[in-house]
Chain A
Amino acid sequence: MVASLTKRFGDLDIAEEAAAEAFATAVERWPADGVPPSPGAWLTTAANRKAIDRIRRENKRGDKQKEAQLLYDDDPPEPPGAIDDDRLRLIFTCCHPALALETRVALTLRMVAGLTVPEIARAFLVSETTMGQRITRAKAKIKAARIPYRVPSAEDLPARVSGVLAVLFLVFNEAYLATGPGTDPVRHDLTAEAIRLTRLIRALLPDDGEAAGLLALMLLTQARRAARVSPAGELVTLAEQDRGTWDAALIAEGHRLVRERLAAGVAPGRYQILAAISAVHTSAHDVRDTDWSQVVALYDLLVRLDPSPIVALNRAIAVGELDGPEVALAAVDRLEDKLAGYHAYHATRADLLRRLGRSQQARAAYDKAIELAGNTAETAYLTRRRDQLA
């Protein structure tokens, strides 16, 4: 609804506010007047009226022609080739290169995926105030500099897509390990939305390796969703998941995409490597059949493209399966400066210390991980692990 209002009125603030006002009116009126026969259409009409009212208030001089245009909404049809999808348009606006990368991600999470400012602040490890200001400034720039609301032309598209993929990857990750005590541990609405948008980008650019890679990665991750949280609401690690519940169709589609990229013979980017790692895991019917040396080799490739501490942490976990927990712990401990505020760093240390029988240190690491983790299922898992320590 925000996306279609933005398309019509060309202003994110007006769109957001009008949608909120329409919902508020509905909450007020429906219990007394009864729910209208078509609630969705009712809300859209109400929001459109609110937006027009606001524009009228702000435009006292009354640009009549503009008003008439808004009322009749007779936009000329899009040129052929443009994908008729308001959300896609909104994504390209939010991911505009004139905005800083982290601003693009934050804005997309807020405007397209509908996350709250506190949720986004958590995902970025910054304060809510900082995040709130970042989003407000970005919206002000879009308006003041007139960043257009449209899918870029074919010649500009490839250059604009990598920024969009980075954003969709982060949306999917946030959905798959949702933060906040009030949200479901896995937000299926958001994972589905991230996959849907990535499919659109892939349809737009079928030869883009990273678009295919990201889609494969999402599908292979999504395939394991049923096994990821136990009936008791606890996170289940990859090693302990019931592989019989994995979605075979999604895995087959993901593997097909990975094979397609291997056959292309082009040096893979980050998402293609991550998808290949996921393909190794999903090829093993039992965790003991996992080809860990291949996983480590793929992480070595990834470290060269992306020397971030989080990639190094994941590589260390794979090394632990190959060379044992002691080697892995030494590698993990070297990341302390950069990752001390990241729950997965402490959870990884806790698990390695537990396997080494160093219970007291493991307990301290679990405490720290529980303190920092925002996902309810992960907190439940870590708490059980801690309480099982000797």
Chain B
Amino acid sequence: MQYLVSVIDDTDGLATEDEMTAIHAFNTRLQAEGHWVFAGGLAAPSAATVIDNRGEEAMFTDGPFVESKEHLAGLYIWEAADLDVALKLAVEGSKACNRKLEVRPFLSL
């Protein structure tokens, strides 16, 4: 079972050095225990471009698709047996990243 884990930020700053150390330790553990599928940090929402080609002509819009106080700062994809396993990891991950996390299941076919 795979879960998308969104790292939610309400500041503009990047992770501090201490946070990077904690995140690295947490990531190493995810890999060692077989939960790691993918992870990546994202540039600021202002670097985003929205594309809409549902009509006659492709439209490009500068900025994120939704403006909000909180934004997606990074994401993980985890492999976990069930939600309890994913939530337990997320409790530790939130502490390590010093950010809120959202755990959302992928549709299973």
Contacts and interface: CB of A to CB of B under 8 A. Distances in A.
Interface residues on B, range: 10 to 19
Interface string A131-144: 00000000000001
Contacts of A309: none
Nearest to A152: B84
Contacts of B1: 146
Contacts of B84: 147-148, 152, 156
Interface string A143-173: 0111110001000100000000000000000
Nearest to A61: B109
A152 B87 CA distance: 13
Task: Tell me whether chain B's interface is mostly helix, strand or loop, or mixed.
Answer: mixed
A144 B1 CA distance: 10
Contacts, number: 26
Contacts of A145: 83, 103-105
A144 B82 contact: no
Contacts of B83: 96, 98, 145-148
Contacts of B47: none
A105 B38 CA distance: 36
A152 B83 CA distance: 12
A96 B105 CA distance: 16
Interface in B46-101: 81-84, 87
B107 interface: yes
B6 to A, nearest CB: 14
Contacts of A144: 105, 107-108
A146 B107 CA distance: 11
B82 A148 contact: yes
A147 B82 contact: yes
A52 to B, nearest CB: 20
A159 to B, nearest CB: 11
Contacts of B87: 97-98
B84 to A, nearest CB: 5
Contacts of A98: 83, 87
A146 B86 CA distance: 10
A146 B87 CA distance: 11
A88 to B, nearest CB: 16
Contacts of B81: 146, 148
Contacts of B105: 144-146
Nearest to B104: A145
Interface in A92-106: 96-98
Nearest to B1: A146
B100 to A, nearest CB: 15
A147 B81 CA distance: 10
A147 B105 CA distance: 10
Nearest to B106: A144
B82 to A, nearest CB: 4
Contacts of B108: 144, 146
Residue from B81, B82, B84, B108 having most chain A Cβ neighbours under 10 A:
B84
A145 B105 CA distance: 5
19 contacts: A97-B87, A98-B87, A144-B105, A144-B107, A145-B83, A145-B103, A145-B104, A145-B105, A146-B1, A146-B82, A146-B83, A146-B105, A147-B82, A147-B83, A147-B84, A148-B81, A148-B82, A148-B83, A148-B84
Query: Nearest 3 CB-CB pairs, A to B?
Result: A148-B82, A145-B105, A146-B82
